[in-house]
Structure 1
Amino acid sequence: MKPFPKLHLWLILPFVLTLIGFSHYWTGFSEATFQWHLHGLSATAWYIILIAQPWIYHHRPIHVHRKVGMIGILLAGIVIASALSVIKGNLLQPEQSPLFEVRYSLSLLDFMFITGFMVSVIAAIWNAKNTPVHARWMISTVFWVLSPATTRLSFIPLGMIYQPKEFSDFPFSWADVLTWNQALIVLVLVFLIILDYQKEKKIYFSYVLVAISQLSAILILTGLKDSAWLISVLNKLFDL
């Protein structure tokens, strides 16, 4: 029996969370900039292919899976390239934005996450003939880019609870909520690592790499913040 027969169903969950988390993009679709459209639409298409591929693997000839995978590689490249443009835009947040105080450290995290996403895609391609390893590298792409969506999603119920007139009325910051989401993602990854070890007596590096990176993101956000040297480096990197 082929592995992961119901993986496509599990992958629908982070896709829905991401759609809801970035609902402001869809509700303000006509007002979004070109780089946001390029990033948002390519990322959505990538997610759809990511969900479809396990189903195709189980129900269609393998050459169909490979052809769809080639389309996915192209989309992944667009996601990565457009993310860099979005990061530059995030550095130009207005002072009234809730992200303003940590916009540089958040941009560093975004850069780290999209780099990790790229590494996972490349590693998945490299291990295409090793199905268990290939699949887990593909699954790991979800966790690299999940927290920006779930952090935004978290503010929907939090807004219902606290009903702030201004964002500053919340008893916590954007960084606090992102930290909680990073910790939750690490817990999910630890669960997957334990599950793999129980079933196969193996620990897959793809999950470990993402988990370590998510933990380091918490340290970057809470410890580094918008340090002067980080501001200088990113301003030079993005020619600001």
Structure 2
Amino acid sequence: MERAYNYIHIFFMSIFFVVVWGFWKTYIVSFPTFQGFGYTHHMHGLLMMLWIFMLIVQPLLIRSGKLSLHRAVGKASYFVVPLLLLSIFMVGKISYNKMIAVSPQQAIASLAQIIPALLAFAVLYGLAIWNKKKSRIHMRYMLGTSLLMIGPALGRVQIIFFNVPFLDAVDYANYLIIAIAFLLLITDIFQKKPVAPYSITVLVMVLGHLAWQFRDGFLWQAVGEKFATIFY
């Protein structure tokens, strides 16, 4: 493992704490009854936490020389990630169906958070697996997937604990993850490391943010409506 990434598990652990913080009042404190939540929400939360735990443990297994166990956890992700993507899709469907009766336009606009997240995670994870034998590239794409966990949690932190308006909270969270990805890219450029992973990470983050910014526009409304018609 590259020296700069020897303690990458600490970064992943910090994301875990942000997720717990963000979902504390909106979900975790509802334990054990979880009134108002269904099995889809529970499965989504469980899979999200499982993915973060997998990200934390993988570099630790490499550092400790337990490569066979590292590969076994990696293979387990072949089952975890499709289920995680399905859970994101299903949570989005629940939210969409709640909103459609109130405002079809806003329901379609809300998909600007779901569709880009699905595509971004699938792309970054897929590229990580495609490059699983190229550890430097593989690791960078995996880190890219972790950035996608920050947005929803950090948005809730801002709204619940700091009274930031919803739209501003989403923007600020997006700006932060784009900035982190961009800084990682700049660092790799100066250190002459592979630039493709963080270039693609920045690209998918920016495209996701643009979809959110133009969620009420004709193009996104057409795309979102077509998506909802086919899948929801």
Superposition TM-score tier, normalisation by shorter sequence: 0.7 to 0.9
What corresponds to 1:205 in structure 2? Answer: 196
- Measured on the aligned residues, the alpha-carbon RMSD in Å equals 2.5
**CA deviation digits over 1:164-212, x for unaligned, max 9?**
xxxxxx7x4x22221121111111111111122222x135322222322
Residue 129 of structure 1: which of 127, 133, 140 is its match?
133
Moved more, 212-221 or 78-87: 212-221
What corresponds to 1:194 in structure 2? Answer: 186
SS at match of 1:225: coil
**Deviation beyond 3 Å, 4+ runs, structure 1:** 99-103
Tell me how far apart the structure 1 counterparts of residues 44 and 55 of structure 2 sit (CA, whole Å). Answer: 16
Identity of aligned residues (%): 22
1:1-240 matched pairs, under 5 angstroms? 3=3, 4-23=5-24, 24-29=26-31, 30-31=34-35, 32-94=37-99, 102-159=106-163, 172=165, 174-199=166-191, 201-225=192-216, 227=218, 228-230=221-223, 232-239=225-232
Corresponding letter in the other structure for 1:221: W
Deviation at 1:42, TM superposition (A): 1.1
Flag structure 2 segments of 5+ consecutive residues without an equivalent.
Answer: none
Corresponding letter in the other structure for 2:137: V
Corresponding letter in the other structure for 1:55: L
Deviation at 1:2, TM superposition (A): 5.1
Deviation at 1:230, TM superposition (A): 4.5
Tell me how far apart the structure 1 counterparts of residues 173 and 105 of structure 2 sit (CA, whole Å). Answer: 19
When the two structures are superposed, what TM-score results if normalisation uses the length of structure 2? Answer: 0.86
Flag structure 1 segments of 5+ consecutive residues without an equivalent.
Answer: 160-169
When the two structures are superposed, what TM-score results if normalisation uses the length of structure 1? Answer: 0.83
Structure 1 contact 140–210 (Cα < 8 Å) conserved: yes
**CA deviation digits over 1:132-182, x for unaligned, max 9?**
0010011000123321221111113323xxxxxxxxxx7x4x222211211
Query: Aligned pair count?
Result: 225
Moved more, 61-70 or 99-108: 99-108
**CA deviation digits over 1:78-131, x for unaligned, max 9?**
101111111101102359x9x997442232332211221122222111111111
Deviation at 1:226, TM superposition (A): 6.7
Tell me how far apart the structure 2 counterparts of residues 25 and 79 of structure 1 sit (CA, whole Å). Answer: 18
